[in-house]
Chain A
Amino acid sequence: MINDEYFLAALRLAAGSDPIPGHVSAAARDAFGLRVSQAVTAPPADCAAPRGVRGGDGPGMIRFVAAGLTFDLEVTVGDGLIDVAGQVFPHPGEGSHVDVRTPHLTLTRRLARSGQFAVTGLPPGWLSVVCHRPGFAPVQTRWVRIRP
């Protein structure tokens, strides 16, 4: 029963018996470095392909839309690491690039003419993609949690 659980959690908190681990606090503080000034945040949107993330039986698609841009991300988890094959459309223009970010690692990719990009070997956990385009505000996807 959730109410009892909250009571007990409050008691544990008051007793200091389950303190927040240091690495969780440190990760929260470091997260501040992930903010993107003036960015527009793209929420998830419906797409025809199945949602989600798959393991060995093929990728799952997640779509985000904002500021006239659509991000389609095919996310695959294999061997404990994440691969992302994505497309931004319509093409955001010459000189655009994407940052594929996790709290611990950011990989930058120029966009192909088709708007496609790919990264491999990201650590599992929280993931977001930011599209930087000359002359316009960057667009970032909402953070999504990717775990095997």
Chain B
Amino acid sequence: MKHDETLRIGVYVCHCGTNIAGVLDVEALAHFAEGLPHVALARHYKYMCSDPGQELVKRDILEYNLNRIVVAACSPNLHEPTFRRAAEDAGLNRFLVQMANIREQVAWVTDDSTEAFTKAQAHLAAAIRRVAGHEALERQFVQIQPRAMVVGGGIAGIEAALTLAEAGKDVILVEREPTIGGHMAMFDKTFPTLDCAACILTPKMTAVKLHPFIKLLTYSTVESVEGSVGNYRVKVRRKPRYIDESLCVGCMMCIDGCVFTQAKFPNPFDQGLGKRKPVWIPFPQAVPPVPVVDPEVCLQIARGKCKQGCVTACGERNAFRFDQEEQIEEYTVGTIIVATGFKAFDPSVIPYYGYGRYPNVYTSLEVERLLNAGGPTAGKLTLRDGSTPKRVGIVHCVGSRDANFHPYCSRVCCMYSLKLAHLVKEKTGAEVFNCYIDVRAPGKSFEEFFNRVQDEGTQFIRGKVADITPANGDGAEGGGLIMNVDDTLLGTIRKIPVDMVILAVALEPQADASDVRRAFGISCSAEGFFLEKHPKLAPVNTANDGVFLAGACQGAKDIPDTVAQADAAAAKALALMDAGQIELEPNTAWVDEEMCSGCQTCISLCPFKAIRHDAERKIAVIDPALCKGCGTCVAACPSGAAKQHIFGDEQISEELEGLMNYV
């Protein structure tokens, strides 16, 4: 870049206490900057982000007529907004500020101070050369629709939807199953208080149903999401229930009237342990209280021939619609809360636990249903043959803390295993053996609950259960089971005879999590749960503005944490919607109309669908509200017409020159 007399750059090197100054000679670094072209002054200061630090910048801008600012400090993710605001306060356009990250990228990662200094020089020179080419930009804002969509109707989605609605916002709640309630509706009791799950959940479910601001779309999935923060256009696929929701009053007469006198199809809500008819409802307090018809087994739909006892029972209500078809509905919303929950780990992939082979090896979720009064045994805990278990083994960490399956701890299994131990003992008086690696009970009143379960006589064996084998050795039906476990505290291997084994299965991401991730433009962490924007400071935000996370879709968590996170997500969504507008990042791409040949290469490449073809002018047009500044179109454009603010060719090449030729 040619020397430009009018450029006056102020450079500020931050000590960040000893974070930077402990490794780098900050004074020498400032001195180095002073010698670079266009630098009017260079200073170093202990904490640039402090008030006096910011004041220093403001004062210098006014006093020394500075028109560019470089701050060599921490990551721009942290304090770029701080210094942009300071510059703006002093009358300088906020985009004429550049940061050199000499903390995360230099001081924290380079042990040798000489090497570190050389690296810091390169970063500083790059920032100085780059900012020289910056131009003043207008701040851009986009309007936010005051309407939210909540995806997933478990306790997370229910809580978030209610909070948003109570704040006066319209909410569209989308749930894949025929009813809201999620996993919590399957549980019998909740730890550590032993509240009946239904007793505390169903009032909230009813509140959702009755709330005038909540539109509930059950048996529905999100098909596609377009647009961006403030204006998401979401297509929702509504599966046919074959019953008109607006006419059904939930009398359930149709279920009695169905020509199948016996319920004979496995009920998924009961984990297949209970049976249902072709027209069915997951559980009595389902919301909406509208049955659903399974087209696979309904004689009328599958074979076109049935006496239609259901229709007769429905009578004048006339709610049945056997010709109902799938429908796509579109909604425009300002913010989205993803609360799609978790999936219980399927232990049949662990050969040595015999799940699926030995009938009395159950998953924890199956046992929840057996213990639940609304479940297949009306709350009576029985073995497959109907008898009451006398000795029950609970195997912790099934699929969790295991490099072969999920290396992470599922957080809730220890506590729900303690709860199950208590309930099994309470209902059957059985001897209970909990085999654990570590008991993790770090929540409020959790340790006390652990102690209570110990006092009740549950035996705790420290060791991960190895094989579960039939007691008679040859796998014949009817026999009991042996849990083979190294009692690591005793130092001996024990064979514990039991007649029921409960596998405390891991919580894992939903099977379709990667599709959901793609639809909402969010990321997943290594184990497949949705990734928050920052693990500490932005735990409900995602990388996609206006899309928030709540509940176990973000990581395994219990009900209190889920509810807290749901309310946090609702608050974040409210803050956005109540502000009414959001500032866009300035680094958006734009098309030089003179140069664009209208080849449309960029359109198919844009991951945010931000580019459209203007057929009249035969050029590409980028919507700045949708552009995320990824630069794909800029790199791909064959004629160099796609350009990007703050990432112009000259700015980038100057930055590279600075990095490579800093001396």
Tell me if chain B binds chain A.
Answer: no
